[in-house]
């Protein structure tokens, strides 16, 4: 009321899905609230959004008051416990990083990317490196031995890159 006049709020009629979305509830919960007479029942399948929101707010306040200060104290205790748990985990991670047990993601990513590039480059060039030698060979065991030797050399190179990363972590 302003200066003795009542403020007329126009009706905003919505369907159950829209009301549920506005109240951040499921459609089923909206139906339950109607059955419990918490919010007004729909007329021709339409809800007066303003009246329903006001009724729901009053319902939430009543519930909060009935639960009293204990629930908010419990919520606060739970929140503090979660915060302490997160702080402890962060401190543990910082310590492990300082001790060299953990590496920065971008550092690991750079080494793995470089290692993968070396591996792919060596594998792709293997055919051209060995083509002449393989052309003159007819013994399958000798061909397999040469291919295995070449693969071992490529894997050794990759291993050296990953070993360098491990050395950095331990220093």
Domain containing 112: what range?
105-170
Print the SS3 string covering the chain. CECCECCCCCCCEECHHHHHHHCCCCHHHHHHHHHCCCCCCCECCEEEHHHHHHHHHHHHHHHHHHHHHHHHHHHHHHHHHHHHHHHHHHHHHHHHHHCCCCCCHHHHHHHHHHHHHHHHHHHHHHHHHHHHHHHCCCCHHHHHHHHHHHHHHHHHHHHHHHHHHHHHHHC
Q: Does 84 lie in the same domain as 34?
A: yes
Q: Supply the pLDDT for residue 141.
A: 94
pLDDT per position as a tens digit, 63-96: 877 766 555 666 667 767 776 777 777 788 778 7
Q: Does 30 lie in the same domain as 89?
A: yes
Q: Supply the pLDDT for residue 112.
A: 81
Higher pLDDT, 68 or 151: 151
Q: Does 86 lie in the same domain as 34?
A: yes
Here the CATH number for the domain that contains residue 88 is 1.10.10
Q: Does 44 lie in the same domain as 74?
A: yes
Structurally, how many domains does the chain consist of?
2
Q: Supply the pLDDT for residue 147.
A: 93
Q: Does 130 lie in the same domain as 90?
A: no
């Amino acid at each position: 009321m302003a200066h003795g006049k009542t403020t007329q709020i126009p009706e905003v009629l919505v369907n159950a899905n829209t009301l549920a979305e506005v109240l951040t509830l499921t459609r089923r919960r909206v139906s339950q609230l109607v059955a419990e007479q918490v919010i007004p029942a729909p007329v021709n399948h339409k809800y007066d959004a303003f009246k329903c929101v006001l009724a729901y707010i009053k319902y939430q306040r009543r519930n909060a008051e009935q639960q009293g200060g204990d629930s908010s104290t419990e919520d606060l205790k739970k929140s503090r416990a979660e915060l302490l748990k997160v702080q402890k985990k962060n401190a543990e991670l910082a310590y492990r990083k300082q001790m060299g047990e953990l590496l920065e993601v971008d550092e690991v990513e750079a080494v793995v990317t470089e290692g993968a590039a070396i591996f792919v480059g060596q594998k792709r060039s293997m055919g051209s490196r060995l083509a002449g030698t393989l052309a003159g060979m007819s013994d399958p065991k000798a061909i397999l031995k040469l291919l295995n030797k070449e693969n071992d050399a490529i894997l050794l190179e990759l291993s050296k890159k990953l070993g360098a990363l491990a050395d950095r972590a331990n220093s």
